[in-house]
Amino acid sequence: DIKPNSVLYLNNVSVSFDGFKALNSLSIVIEPGELRAIIGPNGAGKTTMMDIITGKTRPDEGEVYFNGEIDLTKKDEADIAQLGIGRKFQKPTVFESHTVWDNLELALNRKRGVFPTLFYRLSSDDKARIEEILKTVRLTHRSDELAASLSHGQKQWLEIGMLLAQEPKLLLVDEPVAGMTDAETVETAILLREIAKTRSVVVVEHDMGFIRDLGVKVTCLAEGCVLAEGSIDFVSSDAKVIENYLGR
């Protein structure tokens, strides 16, 4: 049963590595425009779930559908990126020796499929788009500065901006606030909520203050499947979640 109104539909997904079940019948549905937080102890399968969605790992069993109809288990990583699934890994990977603006320009050109270069003439629409992204990721005032001069948190925002330049329909974000200042962490919750107004976002985080700030539906994974799902108050008072994760 494929959910027609879902951006992401994982049904009974399992995958083993050397006989160890990293995902054990995991089912998760993300709605259009939803911002979902994923929590859970180390080894719960969060990264493996992201790997399955982006085609880096193939499931042994189960269904993975994008936009209700596209079977992601039949696509490779490049196809899936092209379909509009963007992924931000934990460590920022911006071009340090380029300006903030040029990083975004390179990302925009990458989407167009032209060899990443700064010698491609930007249309006025492209410039407007870059300005809009700069605003979204709070970097308008740093536009002409080298990415190397940004704080760790600002680099994370710049990389989110670079992904936005590719116009993803679904954005997967891995531990964005690790290493951020408190102020940056608070701002990141606001920023992700804004981004989720025009696309779906799945964010994996350990920072419970941040998760609470997000104020969205939370899924707690453990041992490769869903332990609890619902509001942060519901999930954080679940006895199994306390035993397997919060109480540790």
Give the residues lining the site for ligand ADP (CB under 6 A).
Answer: 17, 22, 40, 42-48
Cβ proximity to ligand ADP, 22 vs 160, nearer residue: 22
CB of 225 to ligand ADP, least distance (A): 12
The distance of closest approach from Cβ of residue 137 to ligand ADP in the complex, given in angstroms and rounded to an integer, is 25
| Least Å from the CB of residue 138 to ligand ADP | 28
Q: Which is nearer to ligand ADP, 41 or 161 (CB)?
A: 41
* Shortest reach from residue 48's CB to ligand ADP, in Å: 3
Q: Closest Cα partner for 65 from 22, 118, 110, 27?
A: 27
- Closest CB to ligand ADP among residues 46, 138: 46
* Shortest Å, Cβ 16 to ligand ADP: 9
Own/partner long-range contacts of 196-200 (Cβ < 8 Å, ≥24 apart): 196/33, 196/34, 196/35, 197/33, 198/33, 199/33, 199/168, 199/169, 199/170, 199/171, 200/7, 200/8, 200/30, 200/31, 200/32, 200/33, 200/34, 200/35, 200/36, 200/169, 200/170, 200/171
What is the CA angle 214-217-222, rounded to 5? 110
Q: Which is nearer to ligand ADP, 45 or 153 (CB)?
A: 45
- CA neighbours closer than 13 Å in the CB half-sphere of residue 45: 28
Closer Cβ to ligand ADP, 14 or 143, answer by number:
14
